[in-house]
Chain A
């Protein structure tokens, strides 16, 4: 692993529980500066939660998250908001403000945080929209944009303040092959052109492996494997193989945890609750 100064986000012994359910049970991650790091794992392993922990929207039960040397959970309101100005997060559904058109959405963070003239803001917004290829769609309302387009507008908005770190929450989910290709290309190009550090949370293996410099595999609240796409492909871990190849049964069982099938069927007394309480 690289030395400390190259690590932008450092997660150590992270525990996080939602209610009774343990989401993270001792996770260590290092996100290297300037690289695209992917966090992959099956649905429900808390990948999105990880991004929210990095962004400081929720606090870990124990363990630490450091971003650029700052302990996120220990920051006060204003310090947290200050560091968030240097973070961009692309939400799964885009999360565009529905009462403004594409232009105003991208202009929103610039208007809130700077005192630039409208002329300057116009230039900046058009540059960001040009970068995602939607300069022509500036007057459309979010309801008039397709799923892929609103994700790209949201991407333009997320990079509006030139963040140091860009996080993508399931950027490829629900996209047609063309917009998927566009997004893959955009993420790579933006990362290299703007000198960003990118974190992608995803379970789309082919797309993610094609751009990620480093990959962490999460399952059941733990890191079960990490390395480059190539290293993971050659890994001997059964779990990694099942996940990367998409087998339906393996270390991750096909069946949700339940009591014995036969006993369940024979039990006519109508215990509908299944295994949870038995």
Chain B
């Protein structure tokens, strides 16, 4: 009995490392496909549309509401100390440093990551990928690489849009509804948000998240068991794993970027 559970443990460990290995090999293969892809911008644009542009609505709406909530909560706390002038900084820094990349990443994983996995998994299940191989077209380069690159391009842009809309949402609640001074809101942001420390670090975070989410998504789709159950499981795994990866990596990146100051 004991031996059995040990064996099971060993087997799941092995299969974990096997998957990790396959994922890394796939990552390298995708990267090798990218130079040739740059000569065919049409393919990338098409994918940026379906991965990025189609995610815009959810990013817009969520960004707006997150910003509005930040404005409300921030105001309620700051007003006790008579510091409601700083509302702009609170909203902007929260968004640019943390919430922009993280929440946009989570939404991106749910909206675009799951769609990528399902699409690629179904292409595998219906032998479309196999058919491409037999037509001497490498599906990793033709199907996976453009999607990966599109995620890499879209994610930082979506995170930036999320933050910008959020700042406007905070402005709407703080200035229009709660009566914070308009000039103070903007000038505080201008004075306290640093380009290198805050904005650039946020952009780096969102790039890392974009790479990790799309990598997980295309790998799960490509590695899915080619059945309807397999595809559904792979889609679930994409959302769960990439969300956890975003949150975990966010902590590590935050510690590296802001830990010392």
> Shortest Cβ distance from B36 into chain A, in angstroms?
11
Question: A189-228: which residues lie under 8 A (CB-CB) from chain B?
Answer: none
Distance in Å: Cβ of B40 to nearest Cβ of chain A: 10
Q: How far is the CA of A93 from the CA of B128 in the complex (A)?
A: 10
Question: How many pairs, one residue from A and one from B, have CB atoms within 8 Å of each other in the complex?
Answer: 51
Would you call A87 and B134 a contact (CB within 8 A)? Answer: yes
* B130 adjacent to A112 (CB under 8 Å): no
Q: A93-B126, A97-B128, A98-B126 are in contact. Are A57 and B135 (CB under 8 A)?
A: no
CA distance A174 to B236 in the complex (A): 34
Distance (Å) between the CB of A189 and the closest chain B CB? 22
Any A CB within 8 A of the CB of B127: yes
Contact flags (1/0) for B119-140 with A, using CB distance below 8 Å? 0000100111011011111100
Check if B136 sits within 8 Å of A95, measured CB to CB: no
Q: How large is the interface on A (under 10, 10 to 19, 20 to 34, 35 or more residues)?
A: 20 to 34
Within 8 A of A (CB), among B42-56: none
Query: In angstroms, how far is the closest chain B Cβ from the Cβ of A228?
Result: 29
Does A109 contact B126, Cβ atoms closer than 8 Å? no
| Residue A84 lies at the interface, judged by CB distance under 8 Å to chain B | yes
Asked whether A82 lies within 8 Å of B136 as measured between CB atoms, the reply is: yes
Q: Is the interface of A mostly helix, strand, loop or mixed?
A: mixed
Q: Does B111 contact A (CB under 8 A)?
A: no
- Tell me which residues across on chain B come within 8 A of A188, comparing CB atoms: none
The tally of residues in B whose CB lies under 8 Å from a CB in A reads 13
Q: Check B128 against A95 for contact (C-beta < 8 Å).
A: yes
Q: Which of B130, B131, B135, B138 counts the most A-chain CB atoms under 10 A from its CB?
A: B135
Q: Mark A56-87, 1 if CB is under 8 A from B, else 0.
A: 01000000000000000000010001101101
Q: Which residues of the other chain, A, contact B123 by a CB distance below 8 angstroms?
A: 98
Is B127 within 8 A of A113, CB to CB? no
Complex interface: chain A residues within 8 A of B127 (CB): 91, 93, 95
Residues of B within 8 A of A97 (CB): 128, 131
| CB neighbours of B131 from chain A (8 A) | 89, 91, 95-97, 154
| A112 contacts B126, C-beta separation under 8 Å | no
Interface contact A109-B128, CB-CB below 8 Å = no
Pair B134/A112 contact, Cβ less than 8 Å: no
Residues of A with C-beta under 8 A to B128: 95-98
Hey, what's the 0/1 contact readout for A125-168 against B, CB within 8 Å counting as 1? 00000000000000000000000000000100110010000000
* In the complex, per-residue mask of B48-76: 1 if CB is within 8 Å of any chain A CB, else 0: 00000000000000000000000000000
- CB of B233 within 8 A of chain A? no
Is B142 located at the chain interface by the 8 A CB criterion? yes
Q: Which listed residue, A84, A96, A98, A108, touches B134 by the CB 8 Å rule?
A: A84
8 Å CB contacts to A: which residues of B85-126? 123, 126
Report how far A82 CA is from B137 CA in the complex, Å. 10
Lowest 8 CB-CB distances: which A-B pairs, in order? A95-B131, A84-B136, A95-B127, A85-B136, A89-B134, A109-B135, A81-B136, A112-B137
Residues of chain B having any CB pair with chain A under 8 Å:
123, 126-128, 130-131, 133-138, 142
**A-to-B contact residues, CB < 8 Å:** 55, 57, 77, 81-82, 84-85, 87-89, 91, 93, 95-98, 108-109, 112-113, 154, 157-158, 161
